[in-house]
Chain A
Amino acid sequence: MDVRRVFAVAKKDILLRLRYRGAYLVSAFFEPMRTGILFLLVYAGFFSSGAVSIGQVTGENYVVFLLLGMLLAVIFRFGFDMIAGAFFTEKIYQTIQGLLISPARKVEIILGMGLRGLIDILPMMVISLSIAYVLLPISPASFLYVMALMGLMYVLVLGVGFINAAYVLGNESISKVFDLVAWTWILLSCFYYPIESTPRLIRPFIELNPVYQANHAIKAAWMNGVLDFGSLTYVLAAAVLSLNFGVFIFNRVWKTRGIDGY
């Protein structure tokens, strides 16, 4: 892997977004907080009315629970949508061909775009983690564990998002199905609510979901100081698999469908 290509892809995308700096700043700072703030209001009302807990969430820790959930939800959405969104724009602008016939490997493209997304997420990440740390400090080891899990979860979602990107180029009807996939996946990831609040019927699916495993392990590490290396291994395996699977499917779709619809 050539790191220079990864940086080249990231830099190009950042420069493109900086064409309209105002829009960039609004999307980087405010958009990620939209959903989280709604849940914050609901939980605040819930606990101020006398409720004690829902699963692991209590009146004392719900802000940290939500801050971490909000951050993970943003990482998920960026990872899932970003490459497809960028590829759609480049398809319409007719610039995508330049990237796809260059010697850049698909993994370099994924990581380059992922790096750009990381820079978008950074303000939100710094703010959320700083507030969470002030409210509930954690050890350096736990912090590193949390960061590793967040990074792996991001790569895992980027891999699946790359499959979506292939269909954005080759068949937008199939690509729209991925919106449904993302919605279902978010539902089964329990970013804003504990697993105990979900119907028992769907809990086995939630437990199998590596994004939920990452989410659960991150919250357990931050709120209870428990480092679960089983979950870390599970998420690591899923991330490696997703990245390779994403590249494999992309190449197949690209070869059979190419670019359609411009």
Chain B
Amino acid sequence: MIEAKNLTKVFNVRKEGRDIFEKLLNREKKTFKAVDDVSFEIYEGERIGLLGPNGAGKTTIIQMLCGLIQPTSGTVLIRGMAADRQQSLIGLMMGRRMIYHRLTGYNNLEYYARLYGVEDIDGRIGKLCNMLRIGGWLDEYVEYYSDGMKYKLAVARALVHDPEILILDEPTLGLDLATSEYLRGIIGRLRKTVLLTTHYVEEAKELSDRVVILSGGRVRRVISNPRRADIRRELLNGRS
């Protein structure tokens, strides 16, 4: 369903000085390879976990899959077509991003539902609110939500158009145990193709059929039917 071939992403970064004159006068540039020749496939209905230390390239890969940034080289195909032509198949959640704090929860979901051409908007929002238990706060501004509520709303936003592919970038980062487990339970019950990034070994084990371990922008190892100990060992090896 998703085919990433030889993905490489190089960022050009200007070398910044430490004081004002250095900043103004410095023209020196450097390049930074965030993702280096990464290839993988995700089959229909499969759940893939992307794991790796900070800076391993997880979010950059997700952004390339969604068409938010273009790869320096390589291609992303979704059902055989270029990724930026298949964006409506994807539901993307990147933490609390893409949620308007100055709108109510309802207005957030309604806005995205209209952008994606959802027919029964109130019905769909009602269903998601029941599933994620956010109905009681729907008419409040998001700025008053707790972090857990914001994450739930972000998941609802990603699901509002009932996408075939769900991409989740650290969906439970910083949440308390109960909220994390609740969200994992919901994600685990969804019948969708799922790609998620996480730092939590338990989450990766619970929600993934296969785990892709990244290190320094490269694929270090792919583990099918992952066990907790295998993931942990690979992550710790990758750090050293």
Q: Which A residues have a C-beta under 8 Å from some C-beta of B?
A: 2, 4-5, 7-9, 11-12, 15-16, 19, 93-95, 97-104, 255-256, 258-259
Contact = CB atoms under 8 A, between A and B. Distances in A.
B66 A256 contact: no
Contacts of B47: none
Contacts of A101: 66-68, 87, 90, 92
A101 to B, nearest CB: 5
B68 A255 contact: no
For the complex of A and B, the 4 pairs showing the least CB-CB separation, nearest first, are: A8-B114, A98-B98, A102-B115, A94-B97
B68 A104 contact: no
Given A95-B99, A97-B97, A258-B68, A103 B88 contact: yes
A9 B103 CA distance: 13
A251 to B, nearest CB: 10
Given A7-B114, A93-B100, A95-B100, 19 more contacts: A8-B111, A8-B114, A12-B107, A12-B111, A15-B103, A15-B107, A19-B102, A19-B103, A95-B97, A95-B99, A97-B94, A97-B97, A100-B68, A101-B87, A101-B90, A102-B112, A103-B115, A103-B116, A104-B115
Contacts of A19: 102-103, 141
Interface string B76-116: 00000000000110101010011111110001001110111
B75 interface: no
Contacts of B90: 101
B100 A16 contact: yes
A58 B36 CA distance: 70
A258 B69 CA distance: 6
Contact of B98 (A9, A97, A255): A97
B35 to A, nearest CB: 14
B157 A98 contact: yes
B116 to A, nearest CB: 6
B117 interface: yes
A158 B69 CA distance: 25
Contacts of B99: 95
Contacts of A99: 115
A106 to B, nearest CB: 13
Given A12-B107, A16-B100, A98 B112 contact: yes
25 contacts: A4-B114, A4-B117, A5-B117, A8-B114, A8-B115, A9-B115, A11-B111, A15-B107, A16-B100, A16-B102, A19-B103, A94-B97, A95-B100, A97-B92, A97-B94, A97-B97, A98-B97, A98-B98, A101-B68, A101-B90, A102-B87, A102-B88, A102-B112, A103-B87, A103-B115
Contacts of A9: 115
B70 interface: yes
B3 to A, nearest CB: 19
B100 A5 contact: no
Contacts of A102: 87-88, 112, 115-116
Contacts of A2: 117
Contacts of B67: 101
A72 to B, nearest CB: 31
